[in-house]
Amino acid sequence: MYKYILKRILLMIPTIVGAAVIVFFLLRAIPGDVCELRMAGSGLYADPEAIKICQQNLGIDQPLYIQFFDFVWGFMTFDLGESMWTGKSITEEIGLRFELSLQVAIMATLTATVIAIPLGTISAIKQDTWVDYVVRIFSIAGIAMPSFWLGILIILGLLIATQKVTGTPWMPPIEYTPIWVDPFANLSQLVWPAMATGYRYSAVATRMTRSALLEVLREDYVRTARAKGLFEKLIINRHALKNAMLPVTTVIGLEFAFLMGGLVVTEQVFNLNGLGKLFVESVLNSDYTVTQSLVMLVAVVFILTNFVIDILYAWLDPRIRYA
Protein backbone atom coordinates (compact mmCIF):
# COMPACT_ATOMS: atom_id res chain seq x y z
CA MET A 1 0.00 0.00 0.00
CA TYR A 2 2.76 2.47 0.97
CA LYS A 3 4.65 1.53 -2.14
CA TYR A 4 1.54 2.21 -4.19
CA ILE A 5 1.05 5.65 -2.62
CA LEU A 6 4.69 6.54 -3.11
CA LYS A 7 4.49 5.50 -6.74
CA ARG A 8 1.43 7.70 -7.26
CA ILE A 9 3.17 10.67 -5.62
CA LEU A 10 6.24 10.29 -7.81
CA LEU A 11 4.02 10.03 -10.88
CA MET A 12 2.58 13.46 -10.07
CA ILE A 13 5.89 15.18 -10.79
CA PRO A 14 6.17 14.51 -14.53
CA THR A 15 2.47 15.32 -14.90
CA ILE A 16 2.93 18.74 -13.32
CA VAL A 17 6.02 19.47 -15.41
CA GLY A 18 4.16 18.45 -18.54
CA ALA A 19 1.30 20.75 -17.67
CA ALA A 20 3.71 23.62 -17.06
CA VAL A 21 5.38 23.19 -20.46
CA ILE A 22 2.10 23.03 -22.33
CA VAL A 23 0.59 26.01 -20.54
CA PHE A 24 3.60 28.20 -20.95
CA PHE A 25 4.17 27.66 -24.65
CA LEU A 26 0.52 27.53 -25.67
CA LEU A 27 -0.09 30.89 -24.03
CA ARG A 28 2.84 32.41 -25.87
CA ALA A 29 1.43 31.09 -29.12
CA ILE A 30 -1.79 33.05 -28.69
CA PRO A 31 -1.55 36.44 -30.41
CA GLY A 32 -1.82 39.54 -28.20
CA ASP A 33 0.55 41.43 -25.98
CA VAL A 34 -0.27 42.69 -22.53
CA CYS A 35 1.69 45.94 -22.99
CA GLU A 36 0.00 46.82 -26.26
CA LEU A 37 -3.36 46.02 -24.71
CA ARG A 38 -2.59 48.09 -21.65
CA MET A 39 -1.49 51.17 -23.56
CA ALA A 40 -3.46 50.99 -26.76
CA GLY A 41 -6.41 48.95 -25.56
CA SER A 42 -8.70 51.92 -25.80
CA GLY A 43 -7.75 52.53 -29.42
CA LEU A 44 -5.39 55.42 -28.76
CA TYR A 45 -1.94 55.74 -30.26
CA ALA A 46 0.73 54.15 -28.10
CA ASP A 47 4.35 55.12 -28.19
CA PRO A 48 6.48 52.15 -29.35
CA GLU A 49 9.19 53.28 -26.94
CA ALA A 50 6.78 53.15 -24.03
CA ILE A 51 5.64 49.69 -25.04
CA LYS A 52 9.24 48.54 -25.18
CA ILE A 53 9.92 49.86 -21.70
CA CYS A 54 6.79 48.16 -20.43
CA GLN A 55 7.90 44.89 -22.01
CA GLN A 56 11.32 45.25 -20.42
CA ASN A 57 9.76 45.88 -17.05
CA LEU A 58 7.63 42.77 -17.30
CA GLY A 59 10.49 40.73 -18.69
CA ILE A 60 8.60 39.55 -21.76
CA ASP A 61 11.38 40.75 -24.06
CA GLN A 62 13.63 38.04 -22.68
CA PRO A 63 14.22 34.80 -24.62
CA LEU A 64 11.43 32.28 -24.01
CA TYR A 65 13.57 29.71 -22.23
CA ILE A 66 14.63 32.26 -19.62
CA GLN A 67 11.01 33.27 -19.09
CA PHE A 68 10.11 29.61 -18.77
CA PHE A 69 12.69 28.92 -16.11
CA ASP A 70 11.62 32.06 -14.25
CA PHE A 71 8.08 30.75 -14.31
CA VAL A 72 9.02 27.26 -13.15
CA TRP A 73 11.33 28.58 -10.45
CA GLY A 74 8.65 30.97 -9.19
CA PHE A 75 6.10 28.18 -9.16
CA MET A 76 8.40 25.88 -7.20
CA THR A 77 9.17 28.55 -4.60
CA PHE A 78 5.49 29.50 -4.34
CA ASP A 79 6.32 32.97 -5.59
CA LEU A 80 3.85 33.52 -8.39
CA GLY A 81 4.96 37.09 -9.05
CA GLU A 82 2.73 40.00 -9.91
CA SER A 83 -0.10 40.37 -12.33
CA MET A 84 1.10 41.87 -15.60
CA TRP A 85 -2.14 43.79 -15.80
CA THR A 86 -2.78 45.18 -12.33
CA GLY A 87 0.67 44.76 -10.82
CA LYS A 88 -0.83 43.17 -7.73
CA SER A 89 0.61 40.07 -6.10
CA ILE A 90 -0.87 37.00 -7.76
CA THR A 91 -0.79 34.88 -4.62
CA GLU A 92 -3.06 37.43 -3.01
CA GLU A 93 -5.31 37.82 -6.05
CA ILE A 94 -5.81 34.08 -6.32
CA GLY A 95 -5.87 33.41 -2.59
CA LEU A 96 -9.24 34.91 -1.75
CA ARG A 97 -10.91 33.66 -4.89
CA PHE A 98 -9.49 30.20 -4.39
CA GLU A 99 -11.06 30.09 -0.97
CA LEU A 100 -14.44 31.00 -2.40
CA SER A 101 -14.27 28.54 -5.30
CA LEU A 102 -13.00 25.76 -3.07
CA GLN A 103 -15.84 26.28 -0.63
CA VAL A 104 -18.47 26.23 -3.37
CA ALA A 105 -16.89 23.13 -4.89
CA ILE A 106 -16.75 21.31 -1.56
CA MET A 107 -20.32 22.21 -0.70
CA ALA A 108 -21.54 21.12 -4.12
CA THR A 109 -19.61 17.86 -3.80
CA LEU A 110 -21.09 17.11 -0.40
CA THR A 111 -24.59 17.91 -1.60
CA ALA A 112 -24.11 15.78 -4.67
CA THR A 113 -22.66 12.79 -2.83
CA VAL A 114 -25.25 12.85 -0.08
CA ILE A 115 -28.04 12.95 -2.66
CA ALA A 116 -26.56 10.75 -5.37
CA ILE A 117 -25.50 7.60 -3.57
CA PRO A 118 -28.78 6.85 -1.79
CA LEU A 119 -30.88 7.91 -4.79
CA GLY A 120 -28.82 5.91 -7.25
CA THR A 121 -28.93 2.89 -4.95
CA ILE A 122 -32.70 3.00 -4.46
CA SER A 123 -33.18 3.53 -8.15
CA ALA A 124 -31.09 0.46 -8.99
CA ILE A 125 -32.73 -1.76 -6.37
CA LYS A 126 -36.20 -0.71 -7.50
CA GLN A 127 -35.32 -0.84 -11.17
CA ASP A 128 -38.31 -0.20 -13.46
CA THR A 129 -40.69 0.73 -10.67
CA TRP A 130 -42.15 4.21 -10.18
CA VAL A 131 -39.37 5.05 -7.68
CA ASP A 132 -36.81 4.37 -10.38
CA TYR A 133 -38.72 6.50 -12.89
CA VAL A 134 -38.94 9.44 -10.47
CA VAL A 135 -35.21 9.28 -9.76
CA ARG A 136 -34.42 8.99 -13.45
CA ILE A 137 -36.55 12.02 -14.29
CA PHE A 138 -34.83 13.92 -11.47
CA SER A 139 -31.40 13.09 -12.83
CA ILE A 140 -32.16 13.61 -16.51
CA ALA A 141 -33.60 17.03 -15.64
CA GLY A 142 -30.43 17.81 -13.70
CA ILE A 143 -28.23 16.94 -16.62
CA ALA A 144 -30.37 18.83 -19.13
CA MET A 145 -30.57 22.03 -17.06
CA PRO A 146 -27.51 24.27 -17.20
CA SER A 147 -26.35 25.33 -13.71
CA PHE A 148 -26.45 29.02 -14.53
CA TRP A 149 -30.07 28.80 -15.63
CA LEU A 150 -30.98 26.98 -12.44
CA GLY A 151 -29.02 29.73 -10.65
CA ILE A 152 -31.19 32.42 -12.26
CA LEU A 153 -34.30 30.49 -11.22
CA ILE A 154 -33.03 30.23 -7.66
CA ILE A 155 -32.37 33.97 -7.42
CA LEU A 156 -35.77 34.79 -8.92
CA GLY A 157 -37.41 32.31 -6.60
CA LEU A 158 -35.69 33.83 -3.59
CA LEU A 159 -36.75 37.32 -4.60
CA ILE A 160 -40.36 36.35 -5.16
CA ALA A 161 -40.62 34.18 -2.06
CA THR A 162 -39.10 36.71 0.32
CA GLN A 163 -41.24 39.47 -1.19
CA LYS A 164 -44.36 37.38 -0.54
CA VAL A 165 -43.38 36.39 2.99
CA THR A 166 -41.63 39.42 4.46
CA GLY A 167 -42.75 42.17 2.11
CA THR A 168 -39.21 43.09 1.08
CA PRO A 169 -37.31 41.08 -1.50
CA TRP A 170 -34.06 39.53 -0.29
CA MET A 171 -31.07 38.51 -2.35
CA PRO A 172 -27.94 36.63 -1.34
CA PRO A 173 -25.17 39.07 -0.35
CA ILE A 174 -22.70 40.04 -3.07
CA GLU A 175 -19.76 40.67 -0.80
CA TYR A 176 -17.74 37.56 0.08
CA THR A 177 -17.16 36.92 3.78
CA PRO A 178 -14.88 34.06 4.78
CA ILE A 179 -16.73 31.38 6.71
CA TRP A 180 -14.66 31.82 9.88
CA VAL A 181 -15.47 35.53 9.96
CA ASP A 182 -19.21 35.21 9.71
CA PRO A 183 -20.54 31.75 8.91
CA PHE A 184 -24.08 32.98 8.47
CA ALA A 185 -23.26 35.70 5.96
CA ASN A 186 -20.90 33.31 4.20
CA LEU A 187 -23.41 30.50 3.89
CA SER A 188 -26.28 32.78 2.91
CA GLN A 189 -24.16 33.78 -0.07
CA LEU A 190 -22.65 30.45 -1.10
CA VAL A 191 -25.39 27.92 -0.40
CA TRP A 192 -27.27 28.95 -3.54
CA PRO A 193 -24.50 28.52 -6.09
CA ALA A 194 -23.58 25.27 -4.36
CA MET A 195 -27.18 24.10 -4.84
CA ALA A 196 -27.29 25.20 -8.45
CA THR A 197 -24.10 23.38 -9.38
CA GLY A 198 -24.71 20.55 -6.91
CA TYR A 199 -27.94 19.55 -8.63
CA ARG A 200 -26.35 18.86 -11.98
CA TYR A 201 -23.42 17.23 -10.22
CA SER A 202 -25.69 14.96 -8.18
CA ALA A 203 -27.64 14.08 -11.31
CA VAL A 204 -24.48 12.86 -13.01
CA ALA A 205 -23.39 10.94 -9.92
CA THR A 206 -26.86 9.43 -9.40
CA ARG A 207 -26.90 8.01 -12.89
CA MET A 208 -23.42 6.63 -12.39
CA THR A 209 -24.34 5.03 -9.07
CA ARG A 210 -27.45 3.50 -10.58
CA SER A 211 -25.79 1.98 -13.60
CA ALA A 212 -22.72 0.80 -11.68
CA LEU A 213 -24.88 -0.87 -9.05
CA LEU A 214 -27.13 -2.48 -11.64
CA GLU A 215 -24.08 -3.98 -13.24
CA VAL A 216 -22.68 -5.23 -9.95
CA LEU A 217 -26.03 -6.74 -8.95
CA ARG A 218 -25.77 -9.03 -11.97
CA GLU A 219 -22.38 -10.33 -10.86
CA ASP A 220 -21.91 -13.91 -9.76
CA TYR A 221 -20.67 -12.94 -6.32
CA VAL A 222 -23.94 -11.15 -5.57
CA ARG A 223 -25.77 -14.35 -6.43
CA THR A 224 -23.38 -16.16 -4.08
CA ALA A 225 -24.22 -13.68 -1.33
CA ARG A 226 -27.93 -14.34 -1.88
CA ALA A 227 -27.37 -18.08 -1.88
CA LYS A 228 -25.66 -17.71 1.48
CA GLY A 229 -28.88 -16.39 2.96
CA LEU A 230 -27.64 -12.90 3.82
CA PHE A 231 -30.01 -10.02 4.47
CA GLU A 232 -30.80 -8.00 1.37
CA LYS A 233 -29.48 -4.92 3.17
CA LEU A 234 -26.15 -6.59 3.88
CA ILE A 235 -25.92 -7.79 0.28
CA ILE A 236 -26.36 -4.26 -1.02
CA ASN A 237 -24.22 -2.44 1.53
CA ARG A 238 -21.37 -4.86 1.94
CA HIS A 239 -21.24 -6.94 -1.20
CA ALA A 240 -22.55 -4.70 -3.96
CA LEU A 241 -21.99 -1.04 -3.07
CA LYS A 242 -18.31 -1.35 -2.34
CA ASN A 243 -17.76 -2.72 -5.84
CA ALA A 244 -20.10 -0.20 -7.43
CA MET A 245 -18.37 2.76 -5.77
CA LEU A 246 -15.28 2.49 -8.00
CA PRO A 247 -16.66 4.30 -11.07
CA VAL A 248 -18.72 6.63 -8.86
CA THR A 249 -15.59 7.89 -7.10
CA THR A 250 -14.08 8.81 -10.44
CA VAL A 251 -17.11 10.80 -11.54
CA ILE A 252 -17.36 12.64 -8.22
CA GLY A 253 -13.66 13.46 -8.20
CA LEU A 254 -13.49 14.74 -11.74
CA GLU A 255 -16.60 16.88 -11.28
CA PHE A 256 -15.01 18.40 -8.19
CA ALA A 257 -11.86 19.30 -10.07
CA PHE A 258 -13.96 20.77 -12.87
CA LEU A 259 -15.89 22.97 -10.42
CA MET A 260 -12.63 24.47 -9.18
CA GLY A 261 -11.98 26.30 -12.42
CA GLY A 262 -14.93 25.88 -14.67
CA LEU A 263 -17.70 27.81 -12.95
CA VAL A 264 -17.45 30.81 -15.24
CA VAL A 265 -21.09 31.48 -16.03
CA THR A 266 -22.56 30.41 -12.71
CA GLU A 267 -20.16 32.76 -10.96
CA GLN A 268 -21.44 35.57 -13.15
CA VAL A 269 -25.05 34.78 -12.28
CA PHE A 270 -24.41 34.88 -8.55
CA ASN A 271 -21.97 37.74 -8.89
CA LEU A 272 -19.22 35.73 -7.26
CA ASN A 273 -15.65 36.80 -7.57
CA GLY A 274 -14.23 33.32 -7.99
CA LEU A 275 -11.49 31.67 -9.99
CA GLY A 276 -13.65 31.37 -13.09
CA LYS A 277 -14.10 35.10 -13.35
CA LEU A 278 -10.40 35.80 -12.80
CA PHE A 279 -9.64 33.25 -15.50
CA VAL A 280 -11.71 35.02 -18.13
CA GLU A 281 -10.32 38.42 -17.24
CA SER A 282 -6.72 37.33 -17.32
CA VAL A 283 -7.08 35.59 -20.67
CA LEU A 284 -8.79 38.62 -22.23
CA ASN A 285 -6.00 40.86 -20.93
CA SER A 286 -3.22 38.57 -22.15
CA ASP A 287 -2.06 38.59 -18.55
CA TYR A 288 0.40 35.70 -18.92
CA THR A 289 1.49 35.47 -15.31
CA VAL A 290 -2.03 35.28 -13.90
CA THR A 291 -3.33 32.88 -16.57
CA GLN A 292 -0.31 30.65 -16.12
CA SER A 293 -0.69 30.60 -12.38
CA LEU A 294 -4.41 29.84 -12.64
CA VAL A 295 -3.96 27.04 -15.14
CA MET A 296 -1.22 25.54 -13.02
CA LEU A 297 -3.42 25.82 -9.96
CA VAL A 298 -6.28 24.01 -11.68
CA ALA A 299 -3.82 21.45 -13.04
CA VAL A 300 -2.53 20.80 -9.54
CA VAL A 301 -6.10 20.50 -8.23
CA PHE A 302 -6.84 17.94 -10.97
CA ILE A 303 -3.70 16.01 -10.22
CA LEU A 304 -4.34 16.00 -6.48
CA THR A 305 -7.95 14.95 -7.03
CA ASN A 306 -6.79 12.11 -9.22
CA PHE A 307 -4.33 11.14 -6.54
CA VAL A 308 -7.10 11.03 -3.95
CA ILE A 309 -9.24 8.96 -6.35
CA ASP A 310 -6.38 6.52 -6.84
CA ILE A 311 -5.97 6.15 -3.09
CA LEU A 312 -9.71 5.59 -2.69
CA TYR A 313 -9.57 2.98 -5.43
CA ALA A 314 -6.82 1.16 -3.62
CA TRP A 315 -8.76 1.35 -0.40
CA LEU A 316 -11.89 -0.04 -2.08
CA ASP A 317 -10.22 -2.65 -4.23
CA PRO A 318 -7.60 -5.02 -2.83
CA ARG A 319 -6.57 -6.07 -6.33
CA ILE A 320 -5.07 -2.60 -6.78
CA ARG A 321 -3.75 -2.37 -3.24
CA TYR A 322 -1.67 -5.50 -3.60
CA ALA A 323 -0.62 -5.04 -7.20
Partner 1 sequence: MPNLLEVRDLKTQFFTSSGTVRAVDGISYDVEEGETVALVGESGCGKSVSALSILRLIPNPPGRIVGGSVRFMGQNLLDLNDEGIRHVRGRQISMVFQEPMTSLNPVLTIGLQLTEMMELHLGLNNEEATRKAAEYLDMVGIADSKRRLKQYPHHLSGGMRQRVMIAMALCCEPRLIIADEPTTALDVTIQAQILEVMKDLSQRLGVALIIITHNLGVVARYADRVNVMYAGKIIERGNARDIYKNPRHPYTLGLLHSVPRMDLPRKEKLDPIDGQPPDLTKLPEGCAFRVRCRYEVEKCGVEVPHLESIGTGHLSACWQKNDLHNAAAGVSS
Contact residues for partner 1 (CB under 8 A)? Answer: 218-221, 223-232, 234, 238-239, 242-243, 316-319, 322
Of 36 and 317, nearer to partner 1 (C-beta) is 317
Say how far apart CA 34 and CA 49 lie, in whole Å. Answer: 15
Q: Which is nearer to partner 1, 245 or 295 (CB)?
A: 245
| Shortest CB 321 distance to partner 1, Å | 9
Q: Give me the least distance between CB of 36 and partner 1, in Å please.
A: 59
Q: What is the DSSP string of 86-147?
A: T--BHHHHHHHHHHHHHHHHHHHHHHHHHHHHHHHHHHHHTTTSHHHHHHHHHHHHHHHS-H
For 120, counting Cβ atoms within 10 Å of its Cβ (0-12 exposed, 13-18 middle, 19+ buried), the class is buried
Using the minimum distance from each CB to partner 1, give the nearer residue, 73 or 221: 221
Which of residues 27 and 236 has its CB atom nearest to partner 1 in the complex? 236
Nearest Cα residue to 294 out of 274, 272, 273, 279: 279
CB of 118 to partner 1, least distance (A): 20
Do the Cβ atoms of 321 and 313 come closer than 8 Å?
no
- Cβ proximity to partner 1: between 186 and 243 the closer is 243
Give 124's contacts (C-beta < 8 A, 6+ positions apart): 132, 209, 210, 211, 213, 214, 217
Give least dist CB 211 to partner 1, A: 17
Shortest spacing between CB 217 and partner 1, in angstroms = 9
Of 49 and 128, CB closest to partner 1: 128
Q: How far is the CB of 224 from partner 1 (least distance, A)?
A: 5
DSSP character at residue 322? T
